[in-house]
Structure 1
Amino acid sequence: MVADQETMDLILNAVPQKHPFRFIDEIIELDDDHIVGSYRYREDEYFYEGHFPDRPITPGVILIETMAQTGVVAFGLYLTMRQKDYSLEETKQLTTLFTFVEGVEFNNIVSPGERVIVRGEKIYFRRGSLKTRVSMERENGENICFGVLAGAGVMLNEA
């Protein structure tokens, strides 16, 4: 089942990361098997000042975090909501622990001001754990990086 725009907006708003550590602006596509999202790295992002002062580039760890926020967190919230028939309010109480990174390869750098597209494809989703094949590309389709990421959803405020 393909998610409608309202559902994609609700999932985006449920992502627990907030400014200045939120790296997902939009969910473009979403269904039970894949997600596509985007993010534009602002020229005033806090990490550019030190990485690197004379030629700012986006740190690899931030690229991985960007892929995780779309491909694991947002996607995992959607799949959990569908599987467990959670309401939006229950879904907002979920957080995701980033548990696994494998085979991440970097092919290009990302400069301030660039918009990237993140694609996540479900490998499996079981017992609240999601494993995805995730890639990041430029708007023209040029690959920036890719790898396998996983996370586990946990309900906050449980007694």
Structure 2
Amino acid sequence: MSDETMTIGPDEILRRLPHRYPFLMVDRAEAYVPGESIVGFKCVSAAEPHFQGHFPENPVMPGVLIIEALAQTGAILMSKTLNADISNTLIYFMGVEQAKFRRPVRPGDVLEMPVEVTANRRGVFKFKGEARVNGVRCADATFSATSAPREA
């Protein structure tokens, strides 16, 4: 099975990202192309803590968490591309240059998040990503990240 078709499941995601519940925002990934692209997936559950207050009668996933899910998808792509070991390397989100929110994401939705590398200069990866539900774009952003040694 090639990297491009292999599903990246929860066990590998936990090896690639330092995030843990309730802040782990990617359940699985697939379509990994080294140094180029990946597609992450997030199953949005009504049990997630942010829905208690955002908004209880009309639950909507906060836009900042959609951006975080895109960033974590990019971090998985970086981690695999760099073969990073999270015991001594962290991937840091550096910034968002553009973000647009087009439709609400609600409990029961499955976010599909294609993310592609648009540049990689001096260890700074730039990405373009979308968050979709049932093929409909909910959000998109350009963002950047880098890796650095984990501090003791």
Give the one of 138, 142, 147 matched to 2:136: 142
Give the fraction of aligned pairs with identical amino acids, expressed as a percent.
24
Separation in 2 of the partners of 1:126 and 1:94? 18
For the pair 1:39 / 2:42, whether they are aligned, the reply is yes
Q: Which runs of 5+ in 2 are unaligned?
A: none
- Tell which deviates more after alignment, 20-29 or 119-128: 119-128
Separation in 1 of the partners of 2:104 and 2:53? 16
Matches within 5 A, 1:7-22: 8-9=8-9, 11-13=12-14, 14-22=16-24
Structure 1 residues 54-100: Cα deviation after superposition (integer angstroms, max 9, x where no partner): 111101111110111002x111111212xxxx6xxx35532111111
For the pair 1:128 / 2:130, whether they are aligned, the reply is no
Structure 1 residues 106-149: Cα deviation after superposition (integer angstroms, max 9, x where no partner): 111000121110011111123322110111101x2100110101
Matched residue count: 147
Give the one of 75, 78, 83 matched to 2:77: 75
Separation in 1 of the partners of 2:111 and 2:104? 11
Write 1 or 2 for the structure with the bigger share of helix: 1
Instruction: Give the TM-score normalised by the residue count of structure 2.
Output: 0.88
Runs of 4+ off more than 4 Å:
none
For the pair 1:66 / 2:69, whether they are aligned, the reply is yes
Give the one of 89, 92, 100 matched to 1:94: 89
Separation in 1 of the partners of 2:102 and 2:72? 20
Task: Please report the RMSD computed on the Cα atoms of aligned residues, expressed in angstroms.
Answer: 1.9
Separation in 2 of the partners of 1:124 and 1:28? 21
Q: Which runs of 5+ in 1 are unaligned?
A: none
